[in-house]
Structure 1
């Protein structure tokens, strides 16, 4: 069984999380500059077996797509062309940044650490992945 890779796509930075090979634990992987994301994923896929990719679906409170969604769709087209064998799933990512901030606070991180946007993005990707893992199928 392969890993599941999660993406919290942002216009500048993108947070990534991954499961263990048994798909039990979701862990933060890293944060990369978005313009390098496709190359990073290709390199990761060359080293690790990934069976699925989960991408956050940014929607407003009224269920309309956020302004980031067209950029995500463009990225997903490129990803699908480069790696058509890997299915992509979407997960509602509402409130993940707030949950990431709260988990950092609960974890006792100092204020300067909580202001690290790259860390927030990585934790948000982990929350997206954990949400996906918790979904009943």
Structure 2
């Protein structure tokens, strides 16, 4: 399904953007050419059963997505604190669930400083009342994360973000992700620049 690529090249196809919060998860989708990110939906965060992860896997399968960008909230100084650790753990759960489902979909963490602040400002400028922001702000933030990632991929001509590898109890019968040449990805993809 997905089209993992050789080092230095980014996958082409539909991509998802994810803004993870403690209460809600915003989701955005790109067109197949990776030109425009649009808000898709807001999912209630389920920290006990992770049903929201299942919804994301379902969307990735239905849309035949090739990559998911999960926003990594850093401080203005670039530090990773509690919310960044939560996003990292969420990205790992998502990578494992995608692999378990037999989907070859890359998961990358990308810097999302100020994405929610920008989303609120954009909604305000569009004339939406502050009380209605809550319904859509997460998916608008996800669209901002995704747009930034796909724009950086095009500008740099390479993949961006930090690749997340599935780490835990994935059954050995699950397919091993392979790049376009049929080789297993090497560890150098883990340090891709954010």
TM-score (ref. length: structure 1): 0.89
Post-superposition shift, 1:62? Answer: 2.1
Q: Which secondary structure state, in structure 2, belongs to the residue aligned with residue 89 of structure 1?
A: strand
Between 1 and 2, higher relative CO (CA 8 Å, sep ≥ 6) is seen in: 1
Distance 1:117 1:73 in 2: 23
Q: 1:105 to 1:48 in 2, by over 3 A?
A: same
1:118 paired residue number: 135
Q: Which secondary structure state, in structure 1, belongs to the residue aligned with residue 66 of structure 2?
A: strand
Q: Which has the larger radius of gyration?
A: 2
CA RMSD across the alignment: 1.5
Post-superposition shift, 1:118? Answer: 3.3
TM-score (ref. length: structure 2): 0.65
8 Å CA contact 2:54, 2:97 repeated in 1 = no
Structure 2: segments with no counterpart, 5+ residues:
1-11, 157-194
- The counterpart of 1:42, out of the listed 57, 66, 69, is 57
Q: Which secondary structure state, in structure 1, belongs to the residue aligned with residue 116 of structure 2?
A: helix
Post-superposition shift, 1:50? Answer: 0.2
More displaced stretch, 89-98 vs 120-129: 89-98
More strand by share: 1
Post-superposition shift, 1:89? Answer: 1.8
Post-superposition shift, 1:53? Answer: 0.5
Matched length? 135
